Amino acid sequence: GAVVSQHPSWVICKSGTSVKIECRSLDFQATTMFWYRQFPKQSLMLMATSNEGSKATYEQGVEKDKFLINHASLTLSTLTVTSAHPEDSSFYICSASGRRIYNEQFFGPGTRLTVL
Amino acid sequence: AQSVTQLDSQVPVFEEAPVELRCNYSSSVSVYLFWYVQYPNQGLQLLLKYLSGSTLVESINGFEAEFNKSQTSFHLRKPSVHISDTAEYFCAVSPTDYDKVIFGPGTSLSVIP
């Protein structure tokens, strides 16, 4: 099956710093990648959708200047949390879908971000 | 727009007992339906999906779900649960003409020894 990896799996940072999270599709070309945020005991909330080579589409209420998304290649998307604050602490999960796997998203293992 | 309802936020069940996790959805367009499982501190794993064809779909670890179009439901069942089934279960829908996935709030299944 299709495999998606995320790096790092967890990160702790100081308030005010920026953190970059990578999402890679290991054995397929991901034309679309999705970034989700999950608070404890809650469901996944879609933050943004990114297509390779174009700007990401952000969901309502998500600050595009705070959560920078880059999808420069068919196997890599990055999410950068800029000037992180404690309220940004969360579990961030990416998923990817490809041309031959229409409508099925493959999820990464998630990244636990803790901002002190 | 689409939405997903999972009426039971928590379901405790004894080991080897049957379980049903309920899922209802609303949509004005055709959708695909999914069940995902999430173990603690892990990402999501696809459990099973309904795209077309037979309305009863099965997973490799004994779960099954039935798509009921008239009731707009996609309930998940297992005849005999194991301790290892303890996890969070998410029902999700995706419009057939777009790859955006909408998740339900999740049901926490706790299997009691």
More confident residue, B100 or A60: A60
Q: Chain A within 8 Å of B49 (Cβ-Cβ)?
A: yes
- Shortest CB distance from A110 goes to which of B42, B94, B96? B42
**Confidence at B99, pLDDT banded by 50, 70, 90:** low
Q: What is the pLDDT of residues B52-61, one digit of tens each?
A: 888 899 898 8
Please compute, for residue B10, the number of CA atoms within 13 A of its CA located in the half-sphere on the CB side. Answer: 4
Q: What is the pLDDT of residues A77-106, one digit of tens each?
A: 999 999 999 999 999 999 998 765 556 788
Short-list A32, A17, A44, CA closest to A110: A44
* Residues of B in Cβ contact (< 8 Å) with A105: 99, 101
Strand B3-5 relative to strand B24-26, pairing: antiparallel
Provide CB contacts within 8 A for B28, sequence distance 6+.
B1
* Residues of B in Cβ contact (< 8 Å) with A41: 108
pLDDT at A102: 57
pLDDT at B31: 87
Q: What is the pLDDT of residues B6-36, one digit of tens each?
A: 999 999 999 999 999 999 999 888 888 999 9
Average pLDDT over residues B101-107: 91
Tell me the average pLDDT of chain A. Answer: 90
pLDDT at A87: 94
Quote the minimal CA–CA distance from B92 to chain A in Å. 10
**Confidence at B37, pLDDT banded by 50, 70, 90:** very high
